A = this chain, B = another copy of it.
Amino acid sequence: MEKRSETTIHDIARELNISASTVSRALNNNPIISEPTRKLIEKTAKAMGYRPNILAANFRTKRTNTIGVMLPLINRHFFSSVISGIEEVAYDQGFTVTISQSNDNFEKETKIAQTLFSNRVDGLIVSIGMQTTNYDHLKLFAEKKVPLVFFDRVVDKIKAHKIIVDDYRGGFKAASHLIEQGGKRIAHIGGPLNLKIYQDRLSGYKDALEKAGIPVNESMLVHNSLTREDGTNAIKRLLQNPEKPDAIFCANDTTALSVILYLRKKGIKVPDDIMVVGFSNEPFSEVVTPSISTIKQPGFEMGKKAAELLIKQIKQKDKPVRYKTLVMPTELVIRESSVKNRNK
């Protein structure tokens, strides 16, 4: 004669000789219920160890109170900061967060999107993978009116809220800074150009050069997937140029680090022989020697903003939305890797 499964609202109703709907309403703080009734029901519910069956409620209401997050890689400081931001807002608003990483793999990304859709997440926050050039799996959300918010690696062609950083100005600031520091032959290690962020960083870089009257030299441009190995290969290739670079703007800190480590190994001095600027402000950038000048992106705030916009959209379902693109400011953090003659 143990407890025969979980108590339901019907058990409570029977206990109090009232109807289940009243119990339901009271427990959902429906203002239509009188204060004494509510109090009584709450008390009894607690006493009977009632726990709402969220599965039933979700099923009934077609809502899950769950936000899906899909991004390339959890295990990167920028992305995990974004998750932290999302999680904080979501938690405060009573939402649960489901996270999946695509590993920059298009097939996995497609499957994840479908799974999240089938799982009826109330909304989705996405940063797309490096290989992604087809967006059908995301259009699905847009079409079926499931709120969708992009961050960082966004898709231009889909209408949705977008949280990005000002990659163009970031690239511009980075390159301008290198020019100010005396850079004449400024190389760029960039990411795949199907991603707008890398296009923009590149454009910013190019415009800064042009503004300074420095011609953009194609042999000074390398594009790859920005892994540690890619960075090493890129710097090797750049060093084979007849005219070696005297400064490098890397589209992320990982490659900036590779470059610095490789140059150190080769006895080439950073910043004296070659200056380096990265992008993202990974934690290691501050503490490596020389510390890496970089463009800071407010990951945590971006996550918060993304979650806020998404939840707002979820709550105002079927009201028309004016999609906005939030451009978060970047900040150039000047450290040792780009400043010659510090002690002069």
Contacts and interface: CB of A to CB of B under 8 A. Distances in A.
Contacts of A76: 80
A120 interface: yes
Contact of A84 (B53, B75, B81): B75
A112 B51 CA distance: 15
Interface in A48-102: 51-56, 58-59, 62, 64, 66, 73-77, 80-81, 83-84, 87, 91, 96-101
A77 B98 CA distance: 19
A96 B119 contact: yes
A54 B100 contact: no
Interface residues of A, number: 44
Nearest to A290: B289
Contacts of A73: 84
B83 A74 contact: yes
A19 interface: no
Interface in A305-324: none
A1 interface: no
Contacts of A87: 74, 99-101
Contact of A284 (B75, B99, B120, B284): B284
Given A59-B55, A59-B59, A96-B119, A287 B84 contact: no
A94 to B, nearest CB: 8
Interface string A115-129: 111111000000000
Given A74-B83, A284-B288, 17 more contacts: A51-B117, A54-B118, A54-B119, A54-B120, A55-B58, A58-B58, A58-B59, A75-B77, A75-B80, A75-B81, A76-B80, A87-B100, A87-B101, A96-B100, A96-B116, A96-B119, A97-B100
